[in-house]
Structure 1
Amino acid sequence: MGDSEAGKLNHSGGRGGWITFFFITGSFAGSTVAASGWSGNLIVYLIDEFNIKSIDAAQISNVVNGCISLFPVIGAIIADSLGCFSVIATSLCISSLGILLICLNTFFTSLRPPPCQTGSATCEGATGLQLTILFTGITLASLGIGGTRYTTATMGANQFDNPKQQDIFFNWYFFTMYTASIVSGTVIVYVQDSVSWAWGFGICLICNTVGFGIFLFGKRFYRYLKPQGSPFIGIARVVVAAVHKRKEFLSSKIEDYYYGETEGKPHLFPSENLRFLNCAAMKAEGDLTSDGVVAKPWRLCTVQQLEDFKSVIRILPLWSTTLLLAAPIVVMYAMVILQALVMDRQLFHGFKIPPASVLVIVLLSTAIFLSVIDRVLFPIWLKVTGHCPTPFQRIGTGHVFNILGMAIAALVEAKRLGVVKSHHLQNQKDAVVPMLSLWLFPQLIAVGVGEAFHFPGQVALYYQEFPVSLKNTATAMVAMMIGVSYYVGTAVIDVVRRNSSWLPDDINVGRLDNMYWLMVVLGVVNFGCYLVCTKLYKLQKHVPDDDDIKVPTLEQ
């Protein structure tokens, strides 16, 4: 079969192929513009329209972004059981409803508190009903993202039989994600800040609804694969079976262990690492019927399921070090927007950079440096050393750039506070510090370069180390890390607020620079833990080609 025919599908009446590309990516572009548009400027919206204090708004934004990162993992698991199409269609409908509720807050003044009076030290807070409508909308919109972000990628790849065409689809998929995020972070954020919130959120609703329509319009062209069930069920069976049989004595005979459909063929004995779990695959009286069928599925698992579970457990210490790699980035994202709010954002005559748009610098630096790494640094490394950098080396380099970014952030904030002091701007509400927001760019560039190293490195590592049945979980592990890191970052900010005066509601009278230095210290300690974990970890397989591995970044 030639390449031109490889995209044609034989399983569903000739459906699938490149004709579905325009519907799937078009729908994804609309939903991504909408998602990034309403979530990217959430901090400023909460401060300006709901009179929520700055640090509280940052905390709310972190929790929401954590949910946006975790919900896609749940959506992917549900799609494994119900199928991609129904999950994506339902999620797009839910997200449209959520964005509509957010829009209602902007259209009707009765659904938000009255604006603060200029120079007033106190502002009227939102009522319970106003906050209920707002947070219900945010929750529904976040749930909608959960059912589309990674499920759309899976459905798109399912339309092709040829791996090369699948790779081309993935490249366009992530190009669409980056482009849509940049459009949201610039155009929509500008409309929200300079025209009106109603227009900004209204555009998000229109984009999401158009994406929904495009997705449904392509229904008759899609290829639908029968759901295979979630591999996480097999992992859960290992845990349950091991608990049930925890008091059983382990057998030393290979025939006493269950191998599933390959029962009766030569097998390897269960591995010795985490040996106490081996009882989960050990056959006991009543586990099998007379014809060899498992009588109690939650009392017996296969040796393969057992070894798959062990693989996940072995990599968890390494995965845990990525939490404190991403948590400082989460803290910086929230604080940078607050810094930009009180800095001179004049770019040229008549145009100011919207506060939330400064984060686009991370997207741009990551995208640019991914190309530099692929086309310049890796060829040089290969020529000098004779091999490409390992995932461990890429992740480690990301650690270094992340620490560097936090150190730059601390130095810039110390300079900003110096300007505040020299101009006697302490305790002056809404005072703009005469310091260009361009000073924030170097730290964002450093973090973006770090992401270009450590995120693809993490996916490469998980992909090579995870068992075949859990390959799709590699990206999910990174998504889970991003989601959990938002909660870790939120907890760190909360602890600092409760035990110091570094983060008051007016950052001009605080010591945000100390917060950044704390992130540097945590980063250095975490880097040390990472080095220990890599030293103790034994790689199982050959490293895959990183060129074909892409991964979303934190701000997406």
Structure 2
Amino acid sequence: MDVSACPRVPVNRPCGLGVAPFYGSTPPAPAAQPATRSLPRPHALLNTPPCPSSPVSQAVTHNTRRSPETESLPERPPLFIRQFRVSDFESSHTHARRGLMAGGAMEDGTREVERWEGYVDWRSRPAVKGRHGGMVAASFVLVAEVLENLAFLANASNLVTYLMKSMHYSPAQSATTVTNFMGTAFLLGLFGGFLSDAVCTTYAVYLISAFVEFMGLVVLTIQARSPSLMPPECIKAVGAAPCEPVSGSKKAMLFVGLYMTALGIGGIKGSLPSHGAEQFDEHTPRGRKGRSTFFNYFVFCLSCGALIAVTFAVWVEDNKGWQWGFGISTIAILLSIPVFAAGSKFYRSKVPTGSPLVTIGKVLLAAASARRGGTQSASNGAVIDRAPSPTGSTDMKEYCKPGNTCAAADEVTEPSQELSGLNRAVQCQPRHRTLACTVQEVEDVKIVLMVLPIFLSTIMLNCCLAQLSTFSVEQAATMNTHVGGLKVPPASLPVFPVTFIILLAPIYDHIIVPFARRVTGTEMGITHLQRIGTGLVLSIVAMAVAAVVEVKRKNVATDAGMMDSAAPLPITFFWIAFQYLFLGSADLFTLAGLLEFFFSEAPPRMRSLATSLSWASLALGYYLSSVLVTVVNSATGRGGHRAWLEGASLNHYHLERFYWLMCVLSALNYVFFLVLAIRYKYRNAGVIKG
């Protein structure tokens, strides 16, 4: 048929729906119209004005008289008109939620699964309750942590010995290098936490970081296996010239391997604890208790990996060579990837919500640039919506309405009085659109700023823990390390605190905490800050014990006339075990308490970054240890005096004075923490206090 012969009518673009007119010489016969039902007007459904001049709108509207210019057109059959329903304009998510409120039964009789709001599975699909999350999912995280910490500590615990014997560094250089390496690794946990909150899920960050750590360990393994990549062998003897330390490209290769490993470790530390904690529903008592148990067993698994590292891996390094030691670490981190991935179908991961650093910076800048008279209060209509808006938007349009007042989408409360100066950041008419802040964002930033002093008060404790991998190892190297016919490597000394943690963690979770719950009548039993404070007290005791043991060790060396001898002193290394036991106990209480404290107190959009503060505290503790060594040597070496931490050997060091100094500083730090803990108000005070 010749379509060009058909009469064509100029059609104006409709304001409602773009329904094309029917063209054809023989249209189908119109169907009979129901007497009791008329079609809705499209422009009414879409809130658009009708177009009376449009032949389309006139054809759709059956009760309107057709214009003369369209009189020749046949009646438009209803077959070509879409019958719109209200459900067409409802989101499937809202429809599903309405069905779920009735127990999961939908209007059509089908049963809809209940989803975890804000969480996805490993394929970025919505996570489903009953299928994703829970202790089963967290168990894969715990096993992966055993392998990851084995890979990390197999090197870190004996790295001082490797640098001294293989790279020809002095004891002070070795200690500084190790503390810098470990400090950087833990500090990069903040980067891993940032990526988990802003860019990727914790699931993806772990897999990427594990691969980076694997590549760094491969570099270290290749260097340790190739004599051409190592400095020349040198036999250290009394009175001989010092050996030439590693330099040039060989030194560059050493540090490339170390800091690639540190980057991977940081990513893992910043994502893995949060990923495990995300598997529990914090809105139920059972979920909160499960999360607390997870953090306890996370430290337990840290210790299990450390136990294998400081026994089997260290023995291999000392007796079979460092290429085998690095090889064990490489295999361990490689195995952790499939172990972690095996739980993929059970995981749920928090959806990244954007950079928390941008939010913090925006709120601080908005508060600083606000007018002096712009402080929000109840009198000017500022209210805080502690729940997210229905649309999930953080735009000020969700909160501000004409008249310079703010309306909360749901429940509203008065602005919190803590850090009230930040309330100025909430302006319904901000000076700059980029500085528009919601009240929820301001409250989130307040929480972060309030936990920072607690974070700072734990740095000194981690400075004490840094001694476990530096001076304490060097102390043990000068002592008798034989147990019967077995010679224990000095780097295996952490076996004492590690074993104690492995024994104490289940007792704490299954005996101490339930007993405390019955006594206090609260859900927590022992609060986070009480756990942290217990760890700080134990660190003070540990430093005092370490000073007393060092005095005894030096007295034995003096009495035996072995101050300049390289032979082992006639004193067993079990004396060092006492300081390890106290520091290990401090680590158990403090690390588990910090991880749970930061995760539970932080805003949901900042949890990975906040949890990483636990590792940042460790990092700054290691850095502070290096700074203290430098400052102490500089201050005590003036006027021709020998510095406390310098000498031909450790026997000539005044290490006991350094330990007493650490003890005093730890006591002052505890007083600072005590003031903060008394004044701190928990975000979930009802849960903490019962």
CA contact 1:345–1:353 (8 Å) conserved in 2: yes
Which residue in 1 is equivalent to 2:543? Answer: 406
Q: Tell me which protein shows more helix as a share of its residues.
A: 1
CA contact 1:7–1:16 (8 Å) conserved in 2: no
Shift of residue 303, structure 1, vs aligned partner? 1.3
2:337 is the alignment partner of 1:212 = yes
| Residues 221-370 of structure 1: pairs in structure 2 closer than 5 A | 226-245=351-370, 249-250=374-375, 252=377, 253-255=379-381, 260=396, 261-263=398-400, 264-265=407-408, 267-284=412-429, 296-297=433-434, 299-349=435-485, 351-370=486-505
| 2-structure distance, mates of 1:446, 1:372 | 17
Shift of residue 37, structure 1, vs aligned partner? 1.5
| 2-structure distance, mates of 1:172, 1:369 | 11
Change (3 A) 1:217 1:104: same
Which residue in 1 is equivalent to 2:651? Answer: 508
| 1-structure distance, mates of 2:280, 2:540 | 41
Shift of residue 240, structure 1, vs aligned partner? 2.5
Partner deviation per Cα, 1:505-544 (whole Å, 9 max, x = no partner): 5211111111111111111222222223334444554275
Shift of residue 218, structure 1, vs aligned partner? 7.0
Q: Which has the higher contact order (CA 8 A, sep 6+)?
A: 1
Shift of residue 213, structure 1, vs aligned partner? 4.8
SS at match of 1:57: helix
SS at match of 1:435: strand
Change (3 A) 1:421 1:356: same
| 1-structure distance, mates of 2:212, 2:599 | 32
| Residues 380-419 of structure 1: pairs in structure 2 closer than 5 A | 388-419=525-556
Partner amino acid for 1:115?
A: E
| 2-structure distance, mates of 1:41, 1:304 | 47
Shift of residue 395, structure 1, vs aligned partner? 2.9
Shift of residue 324, structure 1, vs aligned partner? 1.7
Which residue in 2 is equivalent to 1:525? Answer: 668
Which residue in 2 is equivalent to 1:55? Answer: 172
CA contact 1:6–1:160 (8 Å) conserved in 2: no
Partner amino acid for 1:435?
A: I
2:154 is the alignment partner of 1:34 = no
Shift of residue 413, structure 1, vs aligned partner? 0.3
Partner amino acid for 1:407?
A: A
With the length of structure 2 as denominator, give the TM-score of the two structures.
0.69
| 2-structure distance, mates of 1:345, 1:453 | 29
Which residue in 2 is equivalent to 1:75? Answer: 192
Shift of residue 159, structure 1, vs aligned partner? 6.6
Which residue in 1 is equivalent to 2:570? Answer: 434
Which residue in 2 is equivalent to 1:178? Answer: 303
| 2-structure distance, mates of 1:191, 1:491 | 33
| Residues 489-504 of structure 1: pairs in structure 2 closer than 5 A | 489-500=625-636, 501-504=643-646
More deviation, 82-91/169-178 = 169-178
SS at match of 2:612: helix
Partner amino acid for 1:137?
A: G
Partner amino acid for 1:229?
A: G
| 1-structure distance, mates of 2:468, 2:144 | 31
| 2-structure distance, mates of 1:213, 1:69 | 24
| 2-structure distance, mates of 1:449, 1:286 | 52
| 1-structure distance, mates of 2:183, 2:456 | 16
CA contact 1:33–1:180 (8 Å) conserved in 2: yes
Change (3 A) 1:158 1:538: closer
CA contact 1:390–1:543 (8 Å) conserved in 2: no
| 2-structure distance, mates of 1:155, 1:386 | 30
Which residue in 2 is equivalent to 1:106? Answer: 224
Partner amino acid for 1:413?
A: E
| 2-structure distance, mates of 1:461, 1:210 | 31
Partner deviation per Cα, 1:443-474 (whole Å, 9 max, x = no partner): 11112223333333444544554445444455
Partner deviation per Cα, 1:345-392 (whole Å, 9 max, x = no partner): 11120x211111111222222332334444555566667666644444
| 2-structure distance, mates of 1:369, 1:300 | 49
Partner deviation per Cα, 1:392-427 (whole Å, 9 max, x = no partner): 433333222211111111111000000111122223
2:11 is the alignment partner of 1:11 = no
Change (3 A) 1:489 1:115: same
Which residue in 2 is equivalent to 1:125? Answer: 245
Shift of residue 50, structure 1, vs aligned partner? 0.4
Shift of residue 442, structure 1, vs aligned partner? 1.0
| Residues 445-524 of structure 1: pairs in structure 2 closer than 5 A | 445-463=581-599, 465-500=601-636, 501-505=643-647, 506-524=649-667
Partner amino acid for 2:172?
A: I
Change (3 A) 1:6 1:418: farther
SS at match of 1:124: coil
Change (3 A) 1:440 1:431: same
Change (3 A) 1:113 1:456: same
Change (3 A) 1:86 1:313: closer
More deviation, 76-85/521-530 = 76-85
More deviation, 92-101/413-422 = 92-101
**Structure number with larger C-alpha Rg:** 2
2:194 is the alignment partner of 1:194 = no
SS at match of 1:434: strand
Partner deviation per Cα, 1:7-41 (whole Å, 9 max, x = no partner): 99783799857987787555544333222212221
Partner amino acid for 2:588?
A: A
Q: How many equivalent pairs are there? A: 532
Shift of residue 53, structure 1, vs aligned partner? 0.6
CA contact 2:444–2:603 (8 Å) conserved in 1: yes
CA contact 2:534–2:586 (8 Å) conserved in 1: yes
Identity across the alignment (%):
28
Shift of residue 488, structure 1, vs aligned partner? 1.3
More deviation, 475-484/49-58 = 475-484
Partner amino acid for 2:645?
A: L
Partner amino acid for 1:284?
A: Q
Change (3 A) 1:218 1:400: closer
SS at match of 1:148: helix
CA contact 1:395–1:453 (8 Å) conserved in 2: yes
Partner amino acid for 2:166?
A: E
Change (3 A) 1:525 1:45: same
Change (3 A) 1:113 1:82: same
Change (3 A) 1:70 1:273: same
With the length of structure 1 as denominator, give the TM-score of the two structures.
0.84
CA contact 2:546–2:579 (8 Å) conserved in 1: yes
Partner deviation per Cα, 1:198-224 (whole Å, 9 max, x = no partner): 111112112222333555677788667
Q: Which runs of 5+ in 2 are unaligned?
A: 1-102, 104-112, 386-395, 401-406, 637-642
Partner amino acid for 2:570?
A: P
